[in-house]
Structure 1
Amino acid sequence: KMRSKSDGLEVFHGENYGPVFGCGHDLFISSESNINNYSYSQIESCYFIPPGETDVHFLTGSKNFTVSEIEVFCFGTTNRYLICNDKNENVSLENEILKLKELSTDDFPVEIKTAVDEEKESLIASKDVLQKQIRAFELEKHFIDTFVKGETKDIIHFNVGGEIMAVKRSTLGRFPNSVLAKR
């Protein structure tokens, strides 16, 4: 977790690129960042370098890098540039799958019918994977909402091998015979 030097400039999502972290491009994620090394880091404009770190490239080891995976969480106030959402639609997967199953391919030549039927089966199988992913995101959102909105007295911090971890008091009480539940 990095502390910011100024509010409102932590994250910017441009229309043609992004996200950019920090007004001086402290962390810039380029287009197609998973296949090129045009992304770069130079933490110093909007974020403080964490204690113990001295290099402005401490996140990535060098200025330019390739992104393999990134997760961004923002707590607190946001400005209008933080989120670029072109469509705010919820599509019922069940209805879409029913439409797909009802789609007839009988009038097509055999080669096309076979290809379309294979695609239908692939989409139906993908639906299950997508629903599991949606459920995982719902659980993660629930965790974040519950944890962040909880009373600070309900959150216990532990130092586990030098790594600070936080847990809710109610979680510690799940096993009444444990040492942690009794305290």
Structure 2
Amino acid sequence: MTQSRDFWSRRKAAVQAEAEAEVIATEEQVIATQQAELEEKSDAEILAQFNLPDPDQLQAGDDVSGFMAKAVPDRLRRRALRQLWRLNPVLANVDGLVDYGEDYTDAACVIENIQTAYQVGKGMLRHVEALAAQAEDMDPEIEDETPVAEDAVPVTEVEPETAPTADPITIAATEEAAPQVVPRRMKFEFEG
């Protein structure tokens, strides 16, 4: 069973958490000031300050762990990693069996300010209705040329205002009207 902690153990844990948070905050502040100072310097000056080789001149087998320090700016770290990925045959030669190796997003094909007929929650309905209305306006003869069967009786439209209201129809149940349906069971026979 777990016992609830008393006040003093909770207080001690809270004080310890505050101290850890202060240490982390001061470390982040120091790193942020260092990054701000390094942003003003050129890449050559930064490489000389940390005694690092030029990331574009790295060869196979060179150590890139120096570029992974927190003090090194991200732009240099990325340059070194790009060179590492080009040099290492395991990372550079993708065999084609990688499921997510392709860019399946349409971000490369997107045109700025593209207009589509799709509306969220409505789909393409309004667009399709507009196209149908345009087709009706442009070709009223097409409706008149629909094939009519020889036995067809012309249908006249009845306006809802003048249509007579129908009385409800009651159907009397007769004994001969509907036979009862008996459920059937499947029978299986096995030879053997």
Please classify the TM superposition score into its range, dividing by the shorter chain length. under 0.3
Q: Normalising to structure 1: TM-score of the pair?
A: 0.22
Q: Which has the higher helix share?
A: 2
- The structure whose Rg is larger is 2
Q: Normalising to structure 2: TM-score of the pair?
A: 0.21
Greater relative contact order (CA < 8 Å, ≥ 6 in sequence): 1
